[in-house]
Amino acid sequence: MTPPDHPSLPEPKVGVLLINLGTPDAPEARAVRRYLAEFLSDPRVIEIPAIAWKPILHGIVLRTRPRKSAEAYNQIWTNEGSPLRVIAHQSTAQFKRSERPIPACS
């Protein structure tokens, strides 16, 4: 219970943050390689000094993972595209249609 002399409180606000760290453009080794190269080159994702990480990334990871990952992506890929991208777009559209519109942040 709020004391009678307490100032009025503003209506609580609801915030929704949708984050998508990306997805390949296609379930193919070339597209997965391009995605992994961009994603795994981000120093906020891999916190190893670049001088140590780049040889591992380009010498091992990008030579072995794209083919294996493309096979896994191919198992879950839909006619609409990447499930992650599809679900993220559907969620965004659903929030935009909600009764309490949520302003987008820029």
Instruction: Indicate whether 20 belongs to any domain.
Output: no
Most confident by average pLDDT, 7-16, 71-80, 96-105: 71-80
* Residue-number span of the structural domain to which 40 is assigned: 29-91
Instruction: Indicate whether 8 belongs to any domain.
Output: no
pLDDT in tens, 33-43: 999 999 999 99
Question: Could you tell me which residue, 81 or 9, shows the higher pLDDT?
Answer: 81
Q: Which residues pair with 81 in a beta bridge?
A: 78
Which of 8, 17, 26 lies closest to 103 in space, CA to CA? 17
Does residue 94 have a pLDDT over 90? no
- The structural domain count of the chain equals 1
Q: What are the start-end ranges of the H helices in 41-61?
A: 50-56
Does residue 69 have a pLDDT over 60? yes
% of the chain with per-residue pLDDT over 90? 65
Is residue 89 within 8 A of residue 69, CB to CB? The reply is no
pLDDT band at 77 (very low <50, low <70, confident <90, very high): very high
Residue type, 12: P
Instruction: Indicate whether 34 belongs to any domain.
Output: yes
Q: Which of 5-14, 17-26, 79-88 has the lowest average pLDDT?
A: 5-14
Instruction: Indicate whether 72 belongs to any domain.
Output: yes
Instruction: Indicate whether 15 belongs to any domain.
Output: no
Tell me the pTM. 0.73
CA atoms within 13 A on the CB side of 50: 5
Instruction: Indicate whether 14 belongs to any domain.
Output: no
**pLDDT of 18:** 80
Compute the distance between CA of residue 70 and CA of residue 72 in angstroms, rounded to an integer.
5
Instruction: Indicate whether 97 belongs to any domain.
Output: no
% of the chain with per-residue pLDDT over 70? 92
